[in-house]
Amino acid sequence: MAADTSAEPRAWEIVLEHIERQLLSGELAPGDRLPGERALAAELGVGRSSVREALRVLEVLGLIRTHTGSGPSAGAIIISTPGGGMSALMRLQVAASGFPVADIVATRLVLEASVAGDLAAASATDHRPDLAGAERLLDAMDDPGLTAPEFLALDAAFHLALAEASGNQVITATMAGLRSGIEGYALAGLARIEDWHATSARLRSEHRAVVAAIRAADAAAARTRMHDHISGYYAETSPDPARIPA
């Protein structure tokens, strides 16, 4: 119960905070190479294993990429791929029952409807969003030879492409994570679909309708169409139809 002002951080936390500080101060920036593990350990007065634990965290969080060997691409390099860390977080939290699937779907609903509305609004300005990538995916989804899982992968890529078109990296990364979190459920839900051919046709038509609303700069339509699209698919594949997010 003593008034411990220090709290004695663990060794790996020292490393993490050191790197975070250097990141905030600009001493380290994306593209830079971190000092070697041995050098970092000596510099901070901790063991190499503690350094490695911190680096492992940074790697999973999508902040660094490590390569063995020598040369300019070797070592730990600062990157910024938020999607990876978000996906790992969501996947594991779902696995540990920290995130109910229904909440993930509800969040996706909110974000995607907002993205669709924003894209439509942007279409009315001179900063028209680039939907070429998304539409290429829609064309690919028209291939009748696709299996259901292949179709779902393209579907996920389409939704992600819309998020990217919105330009909001946080929403893009979050949606990538949300999608990863429910990927298992999405695949399992396929079994609940009676007529895949009809469902696929409906999904494709809904996708086109969303894009059309965006291109027409009809924000309200874009929002509701995206909302109904996701909500409808979830209702069709959910094992518990009672708990459908509004």
Partner DNA sequence: CTGCACTGTGTGGTCTGACCACAGTAGCAG
Partner DNA sequence: CTGCTACTGTGGTCAGACCACACAGTGCAG
User: Site residues (CB under 7 A) for DNA?
Assistant: 10-12, 34, 36-39, 41, 45-50, 52-53, 55, 66-76
Partner in contact with 98, chosen from DNA, a copy of itself, none, beta carbon below 5 to 8 Å by kind: a copy of itself
Matching residue, tokens 């993930």: 104
Decide whether 39 or 201 has the Cβ nearer to DNA.
39
Q: Is 7 in the site for a copy of itself (CB under 8 A)?
A: no
Partner in contact with 234, chosen from a copy of itself, DNA, none, beta carbon below 5 to 8 Å by kind: none
Partner in contact with 178, chosen from DNA, a copy of itself, none, beta carbon below 5 to 8 Å by kind: a copy of itself
Q: How many residues touch a copy of itself (CB under 8 A)?
A: 52
Q: Is 49 in the site for a copy of itself (CB under 8 A)?
A: yes
Matching residue, tokens 């063991």: 47
Q: Is 114 in the site for a copy of itself (CB under 8 A)?
A: yes
Please choose, out of 1-9, 104-112, 205-213, 232-240, the segment that lies near a copy of itself by the rule CB under 8 A: 104-112
| Chain positions contacting a copy of itself, by CB under 8 A | 12, 20, 23-24, 29-30, 49, 52-54, 56-58, 60-63, 78, 80-82, 85-86, 88-89, 91-93, 95-100, 103-104, 106-107, 110-111, 114, 118, 121, 168-171, 173-174, 178, 184, 246
